[in-house]
Structure 1
Amino acid sequence: MRNGLVQLGAWAAATGAAVALSWFGVHAVLVDAGFEQPSALPLPSATGGTPDDPSTGQVAVATVGEATQRPADPSSSPSPSPTPSSKPSPTAVRKASTATSVHSYLVPGGRVALDMKADRAELVSATPDSGWQMQVWQDTEWMRIDFSKGSSTNSVFVTWNGHPPDVQTVVR
């Protein structure tokens, strides 16, 4: 019995030393890596070009049938999107002309940040609101981000098939 306890004690001491050595080794490497804290991106309101005011806690949201057009390239014109009469009409949202190529879009249920390039768009982040689920579909020339809760689904569609990225939101 005594021999078993001695072996158990030796095993516990060796395991504890190995775990401590591993932890301190990984910790030292990670501390020296110098991780930067991510910075928050200002999110424009869906009805205007200014970020939401965090001091008031109010967030502007586009509703079905409410079309808002942000300033875009004057030479481009919005292309009509065919929608069956049984479906809600999409709200067209164009990228704002700012110095950064990252643009944020707000729909009920979540926020989407996209890196808009001349010939494509890349998903930076998609963050669902509390209680909402998020799903992303992506291909070489389009992207769809859905936020769903119960029977409600709100979507952000991005297409760039031979043209600059076009972003549309559908709020149902």
Structure 2
Amino acid sequence: MTRMRRGIVHALAWSLATGAAVTLSWWGVHTVLAGTVYDPPRALPIPAGSTQAPPAAAGDPSASSTRRPTATPTPTPSPPRKTGGAPSATPSPGPSSRPSASRQPEGGGEVKGYTVDGGRVVFDLGETSAELVSATPSSGWTMQVWKQPTWIRVTFTRDGRELSVFCVWHDTAPRVEIEDR
């Protein structure tokens, strides 16, 4: 009888220790991740009659905006150089870029999406600043994001080709520029 009691005591002690370890681990991970950039995604309405392409299939792993690039990060890039002429709030014309429909959020900014060969980027453009809403690479492309106080850069790369979508608002209203290298 004492052997059976000893076995039950050991099983109970093991269960309590395992439960305490799992609880402590969960609490530690939760505490660390609570202050990170893992905010829930914001849904954007699609306007009625939109000619926008349907989203990628749910089973496609590259359809996730949380997919991490496999390349090692490079040093922080500099923002695009200013060129002559008036700043533009729309992307530079080109065969690889096409802005999508936009909407006016309650905060006074304008949410605009930009689709390039490497993926899709959505910005919330305010009067004096901008915020990255989402960035999703196309299948086979990798993506990196840089954020600075006066600019945001999203770069898609594949097979030596590099497409960058810049949003710059230093001393001007936010404007989006697309660079293909």
Task: Name the TM-score class by shorter chain.
Answer: 0.5 to 0.7
* One-letter identity of the residue aligned with 2:43: S
Cα RMSD of the aligned pairs, angstroms, is 4.1
- Say which of 169, 176, 179 aligns to 1:167: 176
Task: Report matched runs for 1:114-125 at 5 Å.
Answer: 114-125=123-134
The Cα offsets for residues 115-157 of structure 1, whole Å up to 9 and x where unpaired, read as 1000111111111123321111122212211011231111101
Q: Is contact 1:90–1:168 with CA below 8 Å preserved after alignment?
A: no
Superposed displacement of residue 54, structure 1: 2.3
Shift of residue 114, structure 1, vs aligned partner: 0.5
Is the 2:151–2:170 Cα contact (8 Å) retained in structure 1? Answer: yes
Q: Do the aligned partners of residues 149 and 125 (structure 1) sit closer, same or farther apart at CA in structure 2, a change above 3 Å counting?
A: same
Secondary structure in 1 aligned to 2:7? Answer: helix
Identity, % of aligned positions: 32
Q: TM-score, length-normalised on structure 1? A: 0.54
Report matched runs for 1:80-91 at 5 Å.
Answer: 91=94
1:115–1:123 CA contact under 8 A, matched in 2: yes
Task: Give TM-score, length-normalised by structure 2.
Answer: 0.52
Task: Give unmatched runs, 5+ long, in structure 1.
Answer: 27-35, 44-49, 58-76, 81-88
Q: Would you say the 8 A contact 1:108–1:171 is kept in 2?
A: no
**Matched-pair contact (CA < 8 Å) for 2:167–2:176:** yes
The one-letter code matched in structure 2 to 1:5 is: G
Judge conservation of contact 2:100–2:115 (CA < 8 Å) in 1: no
Give the Cα–Cα distance (whole angstroms) in 2 for the partners of residues 7 and 134 of structure 1: 54
Determine whether 1:112 maps to 2:121.
yes
In the other structure, the counterpart of 2:162 is: 153
Distance of aligned partners of 1:115 and 1:162 in 2 relative to their CA distance in 1, 3 Å threshold: same
Count of residues paired in the alignment: 125
C-alpha displacement at 1:159, in angstroms? 1.0
| Alpha-carbon separation, structure 2, partners of 1:102 and 1:113 | 7
Are the structure 2 counterparts of residues 171 and 38 from structure 1 closer, same or farther at C-alpha, using a change threshold of 3 Å?
Answer: same
CA deviation profile, 1:14-69 (whole Å, cap 9, x unmatched): 3577699x7xxx9xxxxxxxxx99534449xxxxxx541429x9xxxxxxxxxxxx
- Tell me, what secondary structure is at the counterpart of 2:140? coil
Determine if contact 1:90/1:171 at 8 Å carries over to the other structure: no
Conservation of the 8 A alpha-carbon contact between 2:156 and 2:164 = yes
Given that 1:158 and 1:165 are in contact with CA atoms closer than 8 Å, whether structure 2 keeps it comes out as yes
Task: Give unmatched runs, 5+ long, in structure 2.
Answer: 28-39, 58-84
In the alignment, residue 39 of structure 1 is paired with which amino acid?
A
Q: Please show how residues 17-166 of structure 1 align to structure 2 within 5 Å.
A: 39-42=43-46, 51-54=51-54, 78-79=86-87, 91=94, 98-100=103-105, 101-166=110-175
